[in-house]
Amino acid sequence: MSDSDGLSAASASDSQVTGEAVVDLDAVAGNVSSLARSAAGAEVMAVVKADAYGHGLVPCARAALAGGAAWLGVAQLDEAIALREAGVTAPLLAWLLGPGSDLEAGLRHRVTLGVCSGWALEAVATAARATGQVADVHVKVDTGLSRNGVTMADWPTTAGLAAALEAEGVLAVTGLFSHLALADAPAHPTVDRQAAAFAEAIRVAEAAGLRPQLRHLANSAASLLRPDLHYDLVRPGIAVYGLSPAPDLVSPAEAGLVPAMTLRSSLTQAKRVPAGSGVSYGHEYTTTGDTVLGLVPLGYADGLPRSASGRGPLLVRSADAARRVTVAGRVCMDQVVVDLGPGAGAAAGDEVLVWGPGTRGEPTAQEWADAAGTISYEIVTRIGTRLPRRHVGTAGTAGGPGRGGALAVPALDGLVVTTP
């Protein structure tokens, strides 16, 4: 098996590697460029939390910057520090701080800190006094999601505290932000209610003497579907990686996005079994006729959702055909079985595409989300650490920021996609 067909030669020869997540950095950069165009004058903060939604923190952060992102956003302070230690110097917001967060380290690494309460403002001020640095702060206001953020009832008092600390010279409130609960339903009345609350929060901030230069409310869905809420900065997450935040309303292609991750493996066994053979734990699948079963060495330990048992789709590329199949029976910890049909010319080593952009007949992450009853965010983010990420493309690398074209996965070479 060559480098350009299936797993790389290095991966194929390593018995410990059962698959890989191939991430197209040029797709990431292109997605950010598309989002920047749709932002109509607002800057883009590319959200790279949770290891860039499973795609690889540092390479995707660099690719997003190459695509035109002005800011990067993460949830946890450790993620921000990891980016700084990797040499990423772009403006960077970390917004999920808690008691015990090393705020002094965050300030030393020039991280903008997102604060959600009066105690957090006081903690940041204490860290600023200890380091002798002026903390750059974005305050989060809870406009209706009821997660982290200053409540609207507490905001006048907290804004006054922020203004006092700003006057002391220990921090500067350079941003004000919130998060939408139903942005993927853009006409839902809660969206307008939150928008109105955010406008009121801005008014309260200004009345307290605060002058935040960056106001941001729009996540991926609002970036695409509510241009009236773009303000100064949009904050896309899942869309950076080419997946739709509202698949019932807009497809990735319609949004100008290209899914960046392809999850791939290869068969470790193909064998003929008779009719009536029970397959995998619980025998929840039984063959209806003589057939060929294939073994794929990926399971829920790698991130495949067990809830997709009997439904998760795959594309198996054999010498005679490329076959769309579904998991036969349960998703196990390390493996799944597929029924390839009675005439399949399958063999160990045949390439398996679990998901990808969908341009070669393979399933998409959204199809897996539908099969598992979840969202595409979870599908890509849950990929386990024992599966290596291989980054292709040049965006954000020494090779240049350009959009290098298609993912380095071969075409189907004239094979016909069939179902058994």
Domain CATH code at residue 268: 2.40.37.10
Range of lowest pLDDT (13-27, 55-69, 404-418): 404-418
The rounded distance, in Å, linking the Cα atoms of 367 and 97 is 34
| CA 169 to mean position of chain CA atoms | 37
Is residue 218 located within the same domain as residue 271?
no
User: For residue 57, what are its two tokens?
Assistant: 């923190």
Asked if residue 341 and residue 219 are part of one domain, the reply reads no
pLDDT at 400: 61
6 pLDDT above the threshold of 70: no
Under the banding of pLDDT at 50, 70 and 90, the label for residue 16 is low
Q: Whole-angstrom Cα distance, residue 380 to residue 376?
A: 6
Q: How many helices (H) and strands (E) does the chain have?
A: 12, 21
Q: Are residues 342 and 278 in the same domain?
A: yes
Stated pTM of the model:
0.91
Of the three residues 214, 241, 268, the one that is the final residue of a domain is 241
Which candidate in 271, 281, 285, 377 is catalytic? 281
- pLDDT at residue 93, rounded to an integer: 98
Is 231 a residue of the active site? no
What are the structure tokens assigned to 4, written together? 């350009």
Same domain, 276 and 224: no
CATH code, domain with 38? 3.20.20.10
Q: Choose the final residue of a domain: 180, 212, 241.
A: 241
List the one residue out of 285, 351, 340, 352 whose CA is nearest residue 314.
352
Q: Are residues 213 and 106 in the same domain?
A: yes
Structural domains in the chain (count): 2
Burial class (CB in 10 A: 0-12, 13-18, 19+), 42: buried
Q: What are the backbone angles phi and psi of residue 261, rounded to the nearest 5°?
A: -105, 135
Domain contains 3: no
Range of the domain at 343: 9-17+260-418
Owner of token pair 């307008």:
192
Q: H helices of 330-396, where?
A: 365-372, 376-381
Please classify residue 82 by burial: count the beta carbons closer than 10 Å to its beta carbon, then call 0-12 exposed, 13-18 middle and 19+ buried. Answer: middle
Alpha-carbon Rg for the chain, nearest whole angstrom, is 24
Please state, as a whole number, how many other Cβ atoms lie within 10 Å of the Cβ of residue 34. 20
124 and 273 share a domain? no
Tell me, rounded to whole angstroms, the distance of Cα 208 from its chain centroid: 37
Active site residue 377: no
Q: Residue 410: is it exposed, middle or buried by C-beta count within 10 angstroms (0-12/13-18/19+)?
A: middle
Q: Which one-letter amino acid corresponds to residue 70?
A: A
Q: Are 65 and 111 within one domain?
A: yes
> Are both 73 and 218 inside the same structural domain?
yes
Please say which residue of 241, 268, 300 terminates a domain: 241
Using alpha carbons, list the distances in angstroms from residue 104 to 35, 88, 127, 263, 276.
Answer: 33, 19, 5, 39, 65
Strand partners, 295: 269, 337
What value does the mean pLDDT take over residues 10-18?
A: 49
Please determine, for residue 133, whether its predicted confidence score (pLDDT) is greater than 80: yes
As to burial, measured by CB atoms within 10 angstroms (0-12 exposed, 13-18 middle, 19+ buried), residue 321 is buried
Residue among 49, 53, 231, 377 flagged as catalytic: 49
Same domain? For 115 and 234 the reply is yes
* Residues 284 and 178 occupy one common structural domain: no
Same-domain pairing of 302 and 235: no
72-105 per-position pLDDT tens digit:
999 999 999 999 999 999 999 999 999 999 999 9
Model pLDDT, residue 92:
98
